[in-house]
Amino acid sequence: MAKAAEPGAKPARRRTKQATAVAAPGKSPAERAYDRLILYIRNFETQLDQSQEIAMGFAGSEAGVLRIEGIGFYEPDIISFYGCDEDGMKTQLIQHVSQLSVILRAVPKHVPEEPPLRIGFRLSEGWRGGESGDGSAWPGPRAAL
């Protein structure tokens, strides 16, 4: 039988199986957020088909979507997304890591005749990609973003 909690006692904390973020030594909050965003983008892109590309939706506004072409960070705490909006206009979002809220969206390819743009493989050194099976993996060194 479970023991009754004493009056005024703090509730017991339960450990969950969910992984908690551990600060990587020598990395700023912006660089840690950047690294995690790359992982989310790569995973999302593996779920897209040949007719789709990744974009970012803006929560709580009518700004539309940003076709993500690159991500950057400015230490210690700024993340930047850049690309084009739905009208093809150059767009950039600059955000503090404490306000980070990103909606990844699958959108139709910008140029239907060309292979889909995959950015996950370009965002971090050493990754060769290809999980999506669509032949969009880039075999060369890190691309300039």
Tell me the per-residue pLDDT of 39-92, one tens digit each, with 9 for 90 and over.
999 999 999 999 999 999 876 666 678 898 889 999 999 999 989 988 889 999
Q: Is the pTM of this model over 0.75?
A: no
What's the pLDDT score for residue 111? 85
Query: Is 134's pLDDT higher than 80?
Result: no
Indicate the DSSP class of residue 126: T
Q: Is residue 12 part of a domain?
A: no
Q: Is residue 41 part of a domain?
A: yes
Q: What is the pLDDT of residues 77-123, one digit of tens each?
A: 999 998 998 888 999 989 999 998 888 999 998 888 988 888 876 66
Q: Is residue 76 part of a domain?
A: yes
What's the pLDDT score for residue 48? 93
Q: Is residue 60 part of a domain?
A: yes
CA distances from 34 to 29, 52, 64 (A): 9, 23, 22
Q: Is residue 117 part of a domain?
A: yes
Structural domain harbouring 106: 29-122
104 closest CA partner among 49, 51, 50, 59: 59
Query: Is 8's pLDDT higher than 60?
Result: no
**Structural domain count, the chain:** 1
Q: Is residue 141 part of a domain?
A: no
Q: Is residue 133 part of a domain?
A: no
Query: Is 142's pLDDT higher than 70?
Result: no
Q: Is residue 80 part of a domain?
A: yes
